[in-house]
Amino acid sequence: MVKYVVRRLLQSIPILFGITLLSYLLMTAAPGGPVAALAFDPRISAAERQRLEARLGVNDPWLVQYLRWLIGDDWMRRDTDGDGIADTAILIPLDANGDGVPEPPGERRGVLRGDFGISFTHRRPVLDVLFERVPATLELSISALLIGASVGITIGVLAAVRRGSIFDNLTRVLAVVFDAIPGFWLGLMLILLLGSQLGLLPMQGRCRVTMDDSCPPVYQRIEYLILPTFILSTGLIAGYSRFTRASMLDVMGEDYMRTARAKGLRERVVWFKHGARNALIPIATFLGPALTGLLGGAVITETVFSWPGVGREAIAAVSQRNYPVVMAVTVYAALATIIGYLISDILYGIIDPRIRLE
């Protein structure tokens, strides 16, 4: 198992670099740029715009920008005044005192050394900005994953053992309906109904706004978590219930299920201990995409409910052309995808001891 995990992690390194390279190319090729997003004054001169581009480091070709993002620029001199030359003390004209001050080298250490840069808009390290928002995203995503997996698998098992019943037909119809309804539309409708009209639940935010901008423990603000968790978990419940039902129907006719009944075991034990465990093997395949899907879904859900997570920050960074934050979120999503699929493979061996990953 350990050798398999190490081998998979080593194989994911070139994949991760390929994702970042393609993402940086697409990001810099998009129309506009950080200078257009930061400089709202249409009267800004070309020289001032060039100096701003030089300070942000976005005036170079995209490959140079990518390499600087990857390995840093603290070992080389940077052109900070936009004249196209990384001046040294010899090239800079002497001032009245006869002194020449060279342009300083860059301050970036690069992603390979743990430096994701400074956010263009927040003027703070990117990792500090994201680490402040990761707990909110994990809180929402883990809640949705636990509820979606547990409720969806339970519904799928019960629908399979009661095939053709009212419960089976109703859950199948509801699964299709909730799988087809866009999450942002359903979230807005619930905000309008339960928040605005009835006033039963908060309409947005993670907690009540305070002076120190901090939130109490989850159990003291559970009402803020209900609506966004429900929106994120509906898709998971629909997907898990349908796949569990289909997989459960395949195993119910197996010999070991008839043997378990012949031994006099209770039906509940036969369903969940013998049938559900074998039916979960195909379901483990969807755990990896679910982790990434939660991040993708959280982008929409966090925006609708003003949830202060990574997804909402990613939307703002894309609209503002905040390159360092966009690339940090890309790395975060890529790592979540790689780890998610690795967890799926490991679960194969846990659910079915006959599978040997080695």
Q: Give pLDDT tens digits along the chain (358 positions).
A: 678 778 878 888 888 888 888 888 888 887 777 776 666 666 667 777 777 777 777 777 888 888 888 888 776 666 555 555 554 433 444 444 444 455 566 677 888 888 888 888 888 888 888 888 888 888 888 889 889 888 998 898 888 888 888 998 999 999 989 888 888 899 899 999 988 888 888 888 888 877 666 788 888 888 889 999 999 889 889 888 888 888 888 887 777 777 877 887 787 777 777 777 777 777 777 776 777 767 666 888 888 998 888 888 888 888 888 888 888 888 888 888 888 788 777 777 676 666 665 5
Q: What was the pLDDT predicted at 356?
A: 61
Using alpha carbons, select from 279, 318, 311 the residue that is nearest to residue 292: 311
Rounded to whole angstroms, the Cα distance separating 9 from 3 reads 10
CA dist list (Å): 276 to 95, 258, 283, 286: 80, 14, 10, 16
Tokens of 61: 């070709």
**CA angle (12 as vertex; 11, 14 as ends), nearest 5:** 85
Q: What was the pLDDT predicted at 88?
A: 45
Q: Is 285 helix (H, G, I), strand (E, B) or coil?
A: helix
77 bridge partner residues:
105
* Burial (CB count within 10 angstroms: exposed 0-12, middle 13-18, buried 19+), residue 316: middle
105 bridge partner residues:
77
Rounded to whole angstroms, the Cα distance separating 235 from 238 reads 5
Tokens of 282: 């195909």
Q: What was the pLDDT predicted at 92?
A: 41
Using alpha carbons, select from 238, 277, 240 the residue that is nearest to residue 149: 240
Rounded to whole angstroms, the Cα distance separating 73 from 104 reads 11
Q: What was the pLDDT predicted at 75?
A: 66
Length of the chain: 358
Q: Which domains does the chain have, with CATH numbers?
A: 2-125 (no CATH), 134-308 (1.10.3720.10)
Q: What was the pLDDT predicted at 104?
A: 62
Report the predicted TM-score, pTM, of the whole model to 2 decimal places. Answer: 0.75
Whether the Cβ atoms of residue 98 and residue 89 lie closer than 8 Å to each other: no
Can you say whether the dihedral through the CA atoms of 45, 46, 52, 55 is positive or negative? negative
Residue owning tokens 């939660």: 294
Q: What was the pLDDT predicted at 94?
A: 40
Integer-rounded Cα Rg, in Å, for the chain is: 27
